[in-house]
Amino acid sequence: MRGAEGGGERVPKIKLPIKKPRGDARLIIPPIGFLFCVFAFLVFYLIATEIRSARVILEDRATQTASGLLESYHASAEDNFGPSDSHILAFGLYKQNGELIARFGAAPPWSRPAPDGDRQFIYDSGKRTLTLLRPLGAKGSHRAERASSPGAAHRWPVGSLYMTLDSGEYYAKLYALRAISILAPIVTLMIGALFIFLVLNNLKYRDSAEKRERLAFLGESARTLVHEIRNPLGSIRLLVGVLRRRFPAGEVPEIEAIEEETRRLDLLVRRISEFLKNPAGSPARVDLANFLRDFASKHAESLVLENAEEGATVLFDPELLRSVLENLVRNASESYPDEAEARDVAMSLSLHGEAAVVVIDDRGKGIADALKGKIYDPFFTDKPQGSGIGLPLARRFVEAAGGSLELQSRKGGGTEASIVLPLAEER
């Protein structure tokens, strides 16, 4: 099938207002979602880095404070020693064997010395404290020699240092950062989800607004077409009446053909007028299998009914359904090149759950990629004598019956038109 085709009659061309092409905004949603995920991960990473940084700063502060206390002890008399920093809760100096040399606050009277050259940091989240256990001096070192001299044991000890700091500020910051590390990515993702939801809602609204605009323009254009068709149609009926009076019934078969086509065209005009008011028409229970067999028998030269599964009853205006099928079959037949000898068009009916599916296949030229987004636009056609109203009307009739009409290219060439209709409830 080629484009949206509604018949072979030449009609006045009506063009939709020209719109600047715009890219599908849905394509930006995956990148935006990815960026929000990256941002959430970056926030989490920065917070984790800040937590590690706060820990390093606290341990460095503890090490410097311990060094300052040790120097203060060296420079002071033993009985006058005492730290002035209120954050220091306990401080102790111990010999190599763990015997106490000097103590302040809650430092233990005996200490297990840390391995030489190894510092230990002990965190107590319950008490919000940090305890540093640090080795001092080494055997054979200059300080060890001074420590072994009389009266210098408390000045240059060879053993270990014990110190406990109040780390309430660190733990307060730690808990705040942990809470933020949990909430920030969640909030970021929630904002991202909200943003995507708003974008999709906006796109849905814009699509709906554009659809309403197209339907409004279709209605106005259809009124113009109805007016343009009715005038010559009236003249044709008058001329047919004159011919009837001149020639007896059955003498000129072409007159009956003209009358039949005139009635069909008049019916189409009335149906378009009804579409402007009510696209559903007058729905009735239709046995699709029988309906399609009858339809195929009247189009035997151009249509083959391959399969018609029984039990498919739908609610559809029979005349509108016939108009939909005629449009699709005609489009399928006209999609073949002019020089083609065979114009095979196949139709089938099958049941899928609570829906009936009518498929019309052809092996024509198919739908060009450049036209796939335009074939449902009113008055768009790539045929010299096409009106471009047939397919939009057919789709509108099907949707008014609660179904859907879709066209897609077939493998190996050609087009497949699928009509999906809900089954009618049993009486």
Question: Please, what is the angle between helix 318-334 and helix 390-400, to 10°?
Answer: 140
In a domain, 139, yes or no: no
In a domain, 345, yes or no: yes
In a domain, 271, yes or no: no
**pLDDT of 389 above 90:** no
Beta carbons of 102 and 170 less than 8 angstroms apart: no
Tell me: the pLDDT tens digits for 220-264?
A: 777 777 777 877 888 888 888 888 888 877 777 788 888 888 887
State how many domains the chain has: 1
pLDDT at 378: 63
| CATH number, residue 298 | 3.30.565.10
Q: Which of 42-51, 383-392, 398-407 is predicted most confidently? A: 398-407
In a domain, 320, yes or no: yes
Type and span of the H or E element at 84: none
pLDDT confidence bin for 158, thresholds 50/70/90: low
In a domain, 395, yes or no: yes
pLDDT at 13: 41
pLDDT confidence bin for 386, thresholds 50/70/90: low
**pLDDT of 193 above 60:** yes
Distances (CA, A) of 176 to 49, 171, 172, 210, 313: 14, 8, 6, 49, 65
**pLDDT of 102 above 90:** no
Distances (CA, A) of 313 to 259, 285, 308, 350: 32, 6, 12, 12
Overall residue count recorded for the chain in this entry: 427
pLDDT at 155: 45
Average pLDDT over residues 405-414: 87
What is the Rg, in whole angstroms, of the alpha carbon atoms belonging to the chain? 45
- Residue-range definition of the domain harbouring residue 370: 281-422
Tokens standing for residue 263: 């009635």
In a domain, 380, yes or no: yes
Average pLDDT over residues 399-408: 91
In a domain, 156, yes or no: no
In a domain, 355, yes or no: yes
pLDDT at 148: 36
**pLDDT of 14 above 50:** no
